[in-house]
Amino acid sequence: MTAPLRIDGETRIFPVIGHPIGQVKSPASLSQIMADRGYNGMVVPVHVLPEDLAGWLAQARSMQNCGGIVVTVPHKGACLDFCERVTARARAAAAVNILVRDGDAWVGDATDGVGYMDGIAAEGFDVAGKTALLVGAGGAGSAIAYEILARGASELALHDIDTARRDALIERLNVTFPGRARVGGTDPRGFALVANATPLGMGEGDPLPVCVELLAPDQFVADVVTRPAIPPLIAAARSVGCGTMPGSGMFNAQAVLLAEMLMGVRTIEADRVG
C-alpha cells in the first residue's frame, strides 16, 4: 500500500526542470517514494527555457524550501556552471542531472549513467570486458559514457552529430580511462552493447540512431527514450532477437537513487568546482 502525499507549509519542493517537460515521468514516482519513506516532499515539473535558466536558478536558490533540483534536457550541461561542488563523474561528463542544496550552495551529480547501466544489468547484460557503441554525447550521453567505461567496457566508440562535443567527451574520458574511448559511427556491427542516448525516437518520423538492419541477435540494445514506451530502436532490436532495455529501465533504476539524494539520505561526494 502506498502512503498518501502530504502537502502543507513544511513541504520541501523539488522541481524537475527541462524544455520540453511534458515527457518527464519522475514527479509522481519520486514524490511517492518520499511519501512512502515518511518524508514531506514533492517533486514538480517546471518548464524552463534555456534563455531563462540563469534567472530561474537564482530564484530557486532564494526558495528556502527548495532542497534540490532534478535536471533534464537541455539544461544538464548549463547547470554544471551553477554548482559550487560537483562529483568526479559529473566533472567527466561536463553535466549534472541533480542539484542538491548545501546551505546556499548547489552540489551537482550525474546519475544518468548509473541508472542506465543498472537498468541494463537488471536485464542480465554485463558490459565488463566487452565493446560498446554509444550514440549521443549530450548531458545524459556523457554520464552514460563515463559509466560504461567505469564498469569495465574494453572499448567505447562514440557517435554524435556535434563532432566538437563528441571529441571533447572522448578527450575527457581518455584522461580517466586511457585509450578506451574513440570515435564511432552508426554501424553497430562488432559491438556487444549498442546504446542510444539521444532523443531520437521521441518524435514521430525520427530517424533511427543506428543502422538497425545491421544488428545481430547476440547484441544488447539500450535506449534512453521513455515515450513511446517501446521506442522504435527497441522495437527494431527485438524483431532481430536482441536483448533490450527501453528508457523506462533507466528511469526505474535511478528513481530511488535520486529520491534518496534529494531527501539527504544518500550523501553526494563532491569536490569544489575550479
Average pLDDT along the chain: 95
Report pLDDT for 2.
81
Nearest-Å Rg of the Cα atoms of the chain is 18
Residue ranges and CATH numbers for the domains of the chain are: 12-111+251-268 (3.40.50.10860), 113-249 (3.40.50.720)
pTM listed for this prediction = 0.87
Q: What is the mean pLDDT of residues 3-8?
A: 87
Return the percentage of the chain with pLDDT > 70, whole number: 99
Report pLDDT for 1.
65
pLDDT at position 248 over 60: yes
Residue 238 phi/psi, 5-degree rounding, is -65, -35
Buried b (16+ CB within 10 A) or exposed e, 6-22: eeeeeebbbbbbbbebe
For strands 98-102 and 68-71, give the pairing: antiparallel
Q: What is the mean pLDDT of residues 102-119?
A: 94
> Per-residue DSSP letters for the chain?
-PPPP--STT-EEEEEEESS-TT--HHHHHHHHHHHTT--EEEEEEE--GGGHHHHHHHHHH-TTB-EEEE-TTSHHHHHTT-SEE-HHHHHHT--SEEEEETTEEEEE--HHHHHHHHHHHTT---TTSEEEEE--SHHHHHHHHHHHHTT-SEEEEE-S-HHHHHHHHHHHHHHSTT-EEE--S--TT-SEEEE-S-TTSSTTPPPSS-GGG--TT-EEEE---SSSS-HHHHHHHHHT-EEE-HHHHHHHHHHHHHHHHHTSS----EE--
pLDDT at position 274 over 70: no
**130 is annotated as an active-site residue:** no
- Residue 266 CA to residue 243 CA, distance in Å, equals 32
Residue of 12, 76, 89, 159 with catalytic role: 76
pLDDT in tens, 20-53: 998 888 999 999 999 999 999 999 999 999 999 9
Q: Which of 255, 267, 265 is nearest to 118 (CA)?
A: 255
pLDDT in tens, 55-106: 999 999 999 999 999 999 899 999 999 999 999 999 988 999 999 999 889 9
pLDDT in tens, 135-183: 999 999 999 999 999 999 999 999 999 999 999 999 999 999 999 999 9
